[in-house]
């Protein structure tokens, strides 16, 4: 796939010689430092040793109008948490059907969140790091098509996006790199806004596959269930082309100097080890000329439903009518697969509250300084973690 982007880029560079189209170069960068406030704590990839890579990135975007409504865009992004290896984050062609409608194809951003489209462009929002309870999916792009229709009804702007495509990536599901795919991903993303108010709805459905072989315990459990012929039960752990959905609702207010943002999201992979996840944040801000202060509260709640538990029998009936206990072979005392399955499902439970205070100072027309103090309270473990991050975002 990389080759395709490379040839797209090559095309864009050479096109000017043929058609006199101009190539626009824009870019953005963020340099962030951060550390947790107490010893031996870690959160969002930060530890108590100050780190300058995790939140830092550098990107260049090339775009070219190829006339007749066709344009090509490629964004090359180097992330600090990926050793600043430059990769194609986006690469797509856009065709303007009319003033109001455009269709794009290639590698693009999945519209999960209100700020998805410019998640990496820190300059465009007021937090040093968007609320992580909601902005928690570790993948952000898909390959496919997107149709965008914009319309204006007096003071209101409506923007409707429809997407279809697929994702092939490493998820951060059980380990930090679980190979997986999303296929037949359909999504609708609609927002309505006026000068000071924005409302947004998004709904996506897909078929999810995630390789769980990174977890020895889960692999052993799945193997054990299959050895007893309990395929239905093992399918309820495995993530094999399972129906999944993602739903989001959000609002944004920017009235005079007051800023208010709130988003709620939920998603679930049916018949899988993974719990239904529900999360929201609400953030209130105030803008004093070039300084913006924000207070944010986030809540996350993940839980597998009651009816997913106790699906594994404690014993099955063998060919001669003999009761065979469903246990780990040779375990003494017997370890029942029912108990192991229940505890695997229960291990997906998560619940947390997060509080943040963010400071943003626009010290230059193209650059902004931000500092953010975040405290996460894990309601399951009772552990509180504090984090300080600060840095500069710029656009050019």
Partner 1 sequence: MKNLIVLMALLLVSSFAANAGVDVIVHPSNANAIDANTIKKIFTGKAKSFADGSKALPLTQGDSSAVTSEFNEKVLKKSSSQLKAYWSKLVFTGKGTPPKEASSDAEVLSLVANNPNLIGFVKQGSADGSVKVIQSF
Which residues of the shown chain bind partner 1 in the complex (CB under 8 A)?
24, 26, 28, 61, 63, 71, 73, 75, 90, 92, 94, 99, 104, 109, 117-118, 120-121, 123-125, 148, 150, 152, 157, 195, 290, 362, 365-366, 368, 395
- In the complex, least distance from residue 143 CB atom to partner 1, rounded to whole angstroms: 15
Please check whether residue 91 is in contact with residue 76, taking contact to mean a CB–CB distance below 8 angstroms.
no
User: Closest separation between CB of residue 230 and partner 1, Å?
Assistant: 47
CB of 258 to partner 1, least distance (A): 14
Q: How far is the CB of 182 from partner 1 (least distance, A)?
A: 21
Pick between residue 14 and residue 118 the one whose CB is nearest to partner 1: 118
For every residue of 51-101, DSSP letters joined together read BSSTT-EEEEEEEEE-STTEEEEEEEEEEGGGTT-EEEEEEEEEEESSSSE
Q: Which of 188, 141, 186 is nearest to 160 (CA)?
A: 188
Residue closer to partner 1 (CB basis): 85 or 98:
98
CB of 354 to partner 1, least distance (A): 25
DSSP 244-294: EEEEEEEEEEEETTEEEEEEEEEEEETTSSSPEEEEEEEEEEEEETTEEEE
CB of 289 to partner 1, least distance (A): 8
CA gap 206, 184 in Å, rounded: 6
Nearer Cβ to partner 1, position 109 or 376?
A: 109
Pick 151 or 305: Cβ nearer partner 1: 151
Are the C-beta atoms of residues 338 and 346 closer than 8 Å to each other? no
Nearer to partner 1, 63 or 384 (CB): 63
239-255 and 57-65 strand pairing: unpaired
Q: Which is nearer to partner 1, 52 or 118 (CB)?
A: 118
Eight-class DSSP state of 224: H
């Amino acid at each position: 796939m990389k080759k395709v982007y490379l040839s797209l880029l090559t095309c864009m560079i050479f096109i000017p010689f043929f058609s006199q189209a101009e190539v626009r170069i824009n870019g953005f960068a963020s340099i962030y430092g951060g550390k947790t406030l107490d010893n031996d704590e870690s959160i969002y990839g930060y530890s108590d040793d100050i780190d300058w890579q995790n939140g830092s990135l550098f990107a260049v975007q090339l775009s070219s109008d190829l006339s007749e409504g066709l344009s090509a865009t490629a964004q090359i992004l180097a992330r600090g948490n990926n050793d600043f290896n430059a990769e194609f984050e986006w690469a797509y062609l856009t065709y303007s059907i009319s003033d109001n409608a455009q269709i794009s194809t290639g590698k693009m951003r999945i519209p999960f969140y209100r700020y998805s489209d410019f998640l990496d462009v820190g300059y465009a929002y007021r937090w040093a790091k968007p609320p992580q309870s909601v902005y928690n999916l570790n993948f952000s792009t898909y390959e496919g098509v997107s149709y965008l229709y914009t319309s204006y009804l007096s003071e209101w702007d409506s923007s409707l996006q429809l997407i279809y495509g697929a994702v092939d990536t490493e998820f951060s599901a059980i380990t930090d790199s679980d190979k997986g795919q999303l296929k037949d991903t359909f999504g609708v993303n609609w927002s309505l806004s006026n000068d000071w108010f924005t409302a947004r709805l998004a709904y996506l459905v897909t078929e999810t596959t995630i390789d769980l072989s990174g977890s020895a315990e889960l692999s052993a459990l799945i193997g054990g269930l299959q050895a007893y012929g309990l395929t239905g039960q093992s399918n309820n752990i495995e993530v094999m082309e399972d129906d999944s959905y993602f739903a989001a609702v959000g609002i944004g207010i920017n009235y005079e100097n007051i800023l208010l943002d709130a988003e709620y999201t939920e998603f679930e992979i049916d018949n899988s080890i993974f719990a239904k996840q529900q999360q929201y944040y609400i953030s209130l801000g105030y803008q004093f000329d070039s300084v913006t202060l924000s207070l944010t509260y986030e809540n996350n709640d993940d839980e597998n439903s009651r009816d997913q538990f106790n699906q594994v029998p404690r014993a099955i009936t063998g060919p001669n009518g003999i009761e065979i206990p469903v246990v780990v072979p040779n375990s003494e005392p017997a370890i029942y697969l029912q108990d192991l399955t229940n505890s695997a499902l229960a291990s997906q439970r998560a619940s947390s509250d997060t509080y943040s205070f963010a400071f943003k100072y626009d010290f230059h027309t193209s650059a902004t300084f931000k500092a953010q103090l975040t405290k996460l309270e894990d309601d399951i473990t009772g552990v509180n973690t504090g984090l300080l991050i600060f840095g500069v975002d710029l656009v050019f």
